[in-house]
Amino acid sequence: MIYLDNAATSLHKPEGVVLAAADAICRLGNAGRGVHEATLAAARVVFDARDKLATLFHVGDPTRVCMMFNATDALNTAIGGLICPGDHVVTTAQEHNSVLRPLYRAQQQGAQLTIVPMDRKTGRVSEADILAAIRPDTRAVVCAHASNVTGNVLDIETIGTFCREHGILFIVDAAQTAGTFPIDMQQMGISVLCAPGHKGLLAPQGTGVLCAAEGVEITPMRVGGSGVHSFSHTHPTDYPTALEAGTLNTPGIAGLSAALDFIQRKGVETIHAEEIALARQFYKQISLLDGVTIYGDWSTDHRAAIVTLNLEGWDAGELSDVLMQEYDICTRAGAHCAPLVHKTFGTQAGGAVRFSFSCFNTEDEALAAARAVAELAQEGD
């Protein structure tokens, strides 16, 4: 099987991730719920992961790194806990529903929302247009670092620097870039960074992270057990406990910690270079085909390793099914939870087929996928 659906979740993990998660299931207790060895060992694992994430993303204080269950959980927490009725928020048309739906809900509750459009040809969102949409009453800019459909990357440092200079919150969805692009929260002016563990961070599903800059106080979406202040009617306000109600996914976090060791050893820049080389090789082969439409800006390698396409004569869903059934190639067809992207491209009726690469893929796999597309393009003629 050739797995090219890494934008949805990483399938191939470093060996240490599997071993760490299995060990945690067998050995660890509940972090923060006692002082016996099993719970103290769990607390150490969670702290180690928190500390590694703080280093990777240049958070500063590890206690500002909060463990979530996925990027959607993190984004809901950030948006729901920071945006109030009357606030103005700027976002973009390239967003995943993990950003759009919490913002639509905030809009229904009285917030004001401006959505910056995409270029219909390249799918790019202009950073200048984002900054131009900011008003005196703007509370926050919320955007994806990279589109999960086009792979296009925003210059978040330019946006974040402007936001910091003007006292505006900058919430970044790093679902497609965490672990594969350098991210420096302090340098880039990021107020809140939200990321899943199970994609570029190569961790198990059910893990995610919310990193909050100093001074950013988020009203928690979940309250309940915390292991401390049990007689208080209100949830603790100290980070990270403020945003970590209930039992954490300790086996997943143990796997995440091991994955972070792998990423640190290999290097984020090296991982991205390997992934984009594979995506570029695949792109070069299929871009020569008649009847293929490829979405996104391929004039640069500063992009996520995502190639999304349609073939003339093929329904996207049918194409993805045939790739699996006849070629053993895993892809993702449909709207990719990014409705405004497909409305921009006019593909909302059938969607498109997405190929997304990992550093665990190979050159042979990229070429095999290209050959499969070429054969199916001839069939569609």
In degrees and rounded to multiples of 5, residue 378 shows phi and psi of -65, -40
pLDDT at residue 103 above 80?
Answer: yes
Per-residue DSSP letters for 238-254?
A: STTGGG--S---HHHHH
Q: Which residues of 140-164 are buried (b: 16+ CB within 10 A; e: fewer)?
A: bbbbbbbbbbbbbbbebeebbebbb
pLDDT digits (tens, 9 = 90+) for 14-61: 999 999 999 999 998 878 777 788 888 889 999 999 999 999 999 999
pLDDT in tens, 59-71: 999 999 999 999 9
Residues 213, 50, 89, 306, Cα dihedral to 10°: 130
* Whether the Cβ atoms of residue 5 and residue 336 lie closer than 8 Å to each other: no
Other Cβ atoms within 10 Å of 220 Cβ, number: 19
Q: What span, in angstroms and rounded, lies between the C-alpha atoms of 173 and 195?
A: 6
- Is the four-CA dihedral 246, 6, 17, 19 of positive or negative sign? positive
Confidence (pLDDT) at 354: 98
> Residue 148 and residue 95: Cα distance in Å, rounded?
8
What is the percent of the chain where pLDDT is above 70? Answer: 98
Rounded distance, CA 183 to CA 190, Å?
Answer: 9
pTM of the full predicted structure? 0.96
pLDDT digits (tens, 9 = 90+) for 169-218: 999 999 999 999 999 999 999 999 999 999 999 999 999 999 999 999 99
**Whether residue 93 has pLDDT greater than 70:** yes
Whole-angstrom distance, CA of residue 208 vs CA of residue 175: 9
CA distance 86 to 309: 40
For residues 370 and 311, give the distance between their C-alpha atoms in angstroms, rounded to a whole number. 13
Q: What is the pLDDT of residue 233?
A: 75
C-alpha distances in Å from residue 341, one per residue of 95, 97, 337, 348, 349: 8, 11, 9, 8, 12
As a whole number of Å, the end-to-end CA separation of the chain is 27
What band does 236 get if pLDDT is binned at 50, 70 and 90? confident
DSSP track, 95-151: --HHHHHHHHHHHHTT-EEEEEPPPTTT----HHHHHHT--TTEEEEEEESB-TTT-
Cα–Cα–Cα angle for 94, 95, 96, rounded to 5 degrees:
130
